[in-house]
Amino acid sequence: MKTSDYMVMFYASMIAVPFLFVVETLLLASGYIKFTDIIEILTAVGLAVYCVIGFKEVYSHKKRKVNRLSDETSIPSKEIKIKHNRGEKVLEVIIKRFDLEGRRLEAHTYKVKGNRFTTVLDALLSIKSEQDSSLAVRYSCRMGICGSCSMVVNGRPSLACETPLLDTAKEDRIEVEPMRAHPLLKDLVTDFDDFFSKHKKIHPGLFREDKKEQMNASSIYNQSREERDVYLPFSYCIMCGLCQDACPVANSNKDFAGPQALSQIYRYATDSRDQKGPKRLNLANSLEGAWGCEFAGACSEVCPKGVDPAAAIQSLKFKMFAGEDKISD
Ligand code: SF4
Ligand code: FES
């Protein structure tokens, strides 16, 4: 029972008890009832009061239950239902699959149902699980972090897990193909060995002259906010390889280091904690390095993390113009 119910009982008894007392005294005085009858009457009235309050309590509890259901379940679920159903469509997904034996791309067409929450990766995985299990797709995080699901969607190098299906489709059709700057393995899967080895060549990591101290650091390497802000935007690279695929130079010259590796040279060269100095910049000083860049800007255009490799490469050129790559004796 709620506090308010006890209050009702209290006020009811404040009125009922004196009223009964007066009535019983009159009846007793006039000889209509005996003293034992008074106890029976009081017991009956008490029971009646409890019955009324008990009934009221059960009834109001039931009512609350009904209200709770209508407040918390039926109304929001109705809204969710409307949202989920909004704009569901059947799209044509054309996948240019790389056939390793035939060594050519073959277009396969599938129909996929999607709504505004469906990504291209979702569509590919639904094709794989419901229509064609032989389709090869690489993915891992499904949230734009691992860089595994890179492919070309409607002609643009993109992360499949971050590309909305409906918004990207044109006339209810969407075309998916593997990246071309990386060797093809199967269907939409490309080989990243060369891409990773180019990244490895630039020594991605902090270089300290005192190796012993680096291995057994006694304190952290302090850095001001201003120092950190210089390289921070370039440290967001997830190595998805999309910039490499968009770059016209990387597509025509396999020896070109590529926008990813070059932007990472800049990232470490501008980190105040790094002590590689001119040696780091020297890694970019060749025609296969920064000087090979024709500043098309496509790398920065497609980067899903806003890294801007084109700006990094031009900054490397400026540093080399300024002679910062010269090793002093
Ligand atoms: S720079 Fe951007 S596009 Fe290039 S690998 Fe890094 S995250 Fe991907
Ligand atoms: S699955 Fe990880 S970035 Fe797309």
User: In CATH, what class is 89-189?
Assistant: alpha beta
What is the per-residue pLDDT for 51?
62
Ranges in the chain annotated CATH 3.10.20.30: 89-189
Q: Any idea which ligand is nearest the CA of 306?
A: 1
Nearest alpha-carbon partner for 201 in 209, 211, 212, 193: 193
The phi, psi pair for 291, rounded to 5°, reads: -70, -15
What is the per-residue pLDDT for 9?
62
Ranges in the chain annotated CATH 1.10.1060.10: 192-321
Q: Which two tokens stand for residue 126?
A: 């639904």
Is the CB of residue 140 below 6 angstroms from any atom belonging to ligand 2? yes
CA distance 212 to 216: 6
Give residue 34's Cα distance to chain centre.
83
Q: Any idea which ligand is nearest the CA of 240?
A: 1
CA distance 90 to 111: 6
DSSP SS3 for 282 = helix
CA distance 117 to 124: 14
Is the CB of residue 139 below 6 angstroms from any atom belonging to ligand 2? yes
Give the nearest ligand 1 atom to 238 CA: 7
Q: What are the b/e assignments for 10-38, b being 16+ CB within 10 Å?
A: eeeeeeeeeeeeeebeeeeeeeeeeeeeb
CA atoms within 13 A on the CB side of 163: 26
For residue range 146-174, what is the model confidence (pLDDT) as tens digits? Answer: 999 999 999 999 999 999 999 999 999 99
Q: What are the b/e assignments for 178-201, b being 16+ CB within 10 Å?
A: bbebbebebbbbbebeebeebbee
What is the per-residue pLDDT for 162?
97
Find where tokens 């193909």 sit: 177
Q: Which helix (H) or strand (E) holds 80?
A: helix 75-85
Is the CB of residue 239 below 6 angstroms from any atom belonging to ligand 1? yes
Is the CB of residue 241 below 6 angstroms from any atom belonging to ligand 1? yes
Question: For residues 225, 231, 233 and 234, what is the CA-based torsion angle, rounded to 10 degrees?
Answer: -160
DSSP SS3 for 126 = helix
pTM higher than 0.85 for the full model? no
What is the per-residue pLDDT for 70?
38
What topology does CATH give the domain 192-321? Fumarate Reductase Iron-sulfur Protein; Chain B, domain 2 (1.10.1060)
Give the contacts of 199 (CB within 8 A, at least 6 positions apart).
239, 260, 261, 264
Is the CB of residue 240 below 6 angstroms from any atom belonging to ligand 1? yes
What is the per-residue pLDDT for 79?
45
Sign of the CA dihedral 110, 116, 119, 122? negative
Instruction: Give Cα separations from 32 to 27, 28, 39, 183, 242 (angstroms).
Output: 5, 6, 15, 112, 104
What is the block-wise mean pLDDT of the chain (329 residues), using blocks of 10 residues?
54 70 77 72 73 61 42 41 66 94 92 96 97 97 98 98 96 96 95 97 93 88 95 98 98 96 97 93 95 97 97 96 81
Cross-strand partners of 110? 93
What is the per-residue pLDDT for 139?
98
- How many C-beta atoms lie closer than 10 Å to residue 120's C-beta? 27
For residue range 289-301, what is the model confidence (pLDDT) as tens digits? Answer: 999 999 999 999 9
